[in-house]
Structure 1
Amino acid sequence: MKIATYNVNGVNGRLPVLLRWLAEEKPDVVCLQELKAPQEKFPEQALLDAGYHAIWHGQLSWNGVAILSRNSNIEEIGRGLPGDPEDLQSRYLEAMVDGIVVCCLYLPNGNPTPGPKFDYKLKWFGRLQARAQKLLEFNAPVVLVGDFNVMPTEQDVYKPKRWLNDALFRSEVRQAFHELVAQGWTDAIRTLYPDETIYTFWDYFRNAYQRNAGLRIDHFLLSPQLKNRLQSGGVDKHVRGWEKTSDHAPVWIELKP
């Protein structure tokens, strides 16, 4: 099974890019973030025509997550991260796909810091840790997939000293990520490429993509039941070079049956 994550940065505006990538790479399951579309504006028919069923949690102008499946039914488990009934931001979606619990997430950016957006990010991270722990207790195969908006180590960021006070790299955020992984999760891409420089995001400014001045912020965390099924993975970096593309590139892993 090939599972991918892609912060599409506007599902309707980038639809030609998304459809082209789906046709070329044919992932079995795809988690999308930053749809930037209300529920009724999600391009369901275009994706059906491309061979993908979808569930989605939209929001006007901002956020939004979706799970696509090419060969299997999607059984929705829940939408919205538990722990705060007043949080209305569309950032989390859970589903069962082919026997695997797929959790698609778009963790808050948190900038500027300090401030309420950073406080919200840390609280959201705490709720994610609580949900992740609960998922592990189910003793089922689970993957946490998406844009975590965190570079876990200096290896994951171009010129790390420039990012020390950014909400994506502050020590509190990295600590939260490491505490999450320490529950028993496997960082799939870093496990496959322990010593390589790998980025998944390049800013639109200052020729970041051309200079490979990137960040690794899109991650797969695998539960213990999936650790030994991890076969391969990578970043479709070339997609970041396409016209009218997202500032993220698709990231993928393959799991053995």
Structure 2
Amino acid sequence: MKIATYNVNGVNGRLPVLLRWLEETSPDVVCLQELKAPQEKFPEQAILDAGYHAIWQGQKSWNGVAILSRSAEMRMLRQGLPGLPDDANSRYIEAFVNGMIVGCLYLPNGNPAPGPKFDYKMQWFEQLHAHAQTLLDNNMPVVLTGDYNVMPTELDVYKPERWVDDALFRPEVRAAFKNLVDLGWTDAIRKLYPDQKIYTFYDYFRNAYGRDAGLRIDHFLLSPQLEPRLLQAGVDRHVRGWEKTSDHCPVWIELADV
């Protein structure tokens, strides 16, 4: 089974890119972030025509998350993180699909740091940590994937010395990600490629894609029940080179069937 995550940076504006990629790669489950569309403007029919069922939580202009599945047997479990009842931002959606729980997340950017946006990011991380522990306690197969807006180590960022004060690379943020993983999750990319430079995001400016000056901020965390099933993982880097594409690349894993 192939599961992918893709920050589309506007699902309607990038719809031709999304549909082209879906046709080319045919993942079984897809998590999308940054829909940048209100609930009623999600392109459900186009997604259905491409062979996918969808659940989504939209938001006008910003944020928004969705889960797509080739299987009709997909059940919504949660919209929003517990512990953040007043959060107006659409950043987390969770479903039961293909015998597992899939959590799709778009963690706050947090810049400028320090400041209220950084405080919100750390609060969100704290609630994600608590929910991730609850998921582990249920002893279910779980995938937590999406745009974490964190470069966990210096290997995950081009010229790390330029990012020391950025909210995606501050020590508190990297520590929060490490604490999350240390609960018992497996970082799928680093499990298979512990020492390899792998980027999932390239800024639109300064020819970042052409220079391979990127960041690894889109991650797959697997519960202990799924870690033994991990076969492959990768980044569809070439999609970043398509016309009118997102600044993120699709990232995917392949799990052995049970």
TM-score for the superposition, normalised by structure 2: 0.99
The corresponding residue for 1:5 is 5
Name the structure 2 match of 1:240.
Answer: 240
Q: Is residue 8–residue 246 contact of structure 1 (8 Å, CA) maintained in 2?
A: yes
Whether the 8 Å contact between 1:151 and 1:215 is mirrored in structure 2 is: yes
1:173 aligns with 2:179: no
Residue-by-residue CA offset, 1:149-181 (whole Å, 9 max, x unaligned): 000000000000100000000000000000000
Instruction: Give the Cα–Cα distance (whole angstroms) in 2 for the partners of residues 53 and 96 of structure 1.
Output: 13
Q: Which residue of 2 aligns with 1:19?
A: 19
**Counterpart amino acid of residue 185 in structure 2:** W
When the two structures are aligned, how many residues end up with a matched partner?
257
1:102 — aligned with what? 102
Map Cα deviations across residues 21-40 of structure 1 (whole Å, 9 max, x no partner): 00000000000000000000
Whether contact under 8 Å (1:147, 1:218) holds in the other structure is yes
CA RMSD of aligned residues (A): 0.5
Q: Tell me, what secondary structure is at the counterpart of 2:225?
A: helix
* Ranges in structure 1 where 5+ consecutive residues have no aligned partner: none
Fraction of identical pairs, as percent: 75
Per-residue CA deviation, residues 76-95 of structure 1 (Å, 9 max, x unaligned), is 00100110211110000000
Relative to structure 2, which stretch is displaced further, 69-78 or 138-147? 69-78
> Deviations 1:119-152 (Å, cap 9, x if unpaired)?
0000000000000000000000001000000000
The unaligned stretches of length 5 or more in structure 2 are none
1:46 and 2:46 matched = yes
Q: Is the 8 A contact 1:72 1:98 kept in 2?
A: no
- For residues 71-220 of structure 1, the aligned pairs below 5 Å read 71-220=71-220
Is the CA contact 1:148–1:218 (under 8 Å) kept in the aligned structure 2?
yes
Contact 1:81–1:92 (CA under 8 A) maintained in structure 2: yes
Q: Which amino acid aligns with 1:206?
A: R
Following the alignment from structure 1 to structure 2, what is the Cα–Cα distance between the partners of residues 56 and 76? 9
Q: TM-score, length-normalised on structure 1? A: 0.99
More deviation in 1-10 or 79-88?
79-88
Q: In structure 2, the residue corresponding to 1:214 is in which secondary structure? A: coil
**Residues 198-240 of structure 1 deviation map (CA, whole Å, 9 limit, x = unaligned):** 0000000000000000000000000000000000010000000
User: How far off is 1:72 after superposition?
Assistant: 4.4
| Poorly superposed stretches of 4+, deviation over 6 Å | none
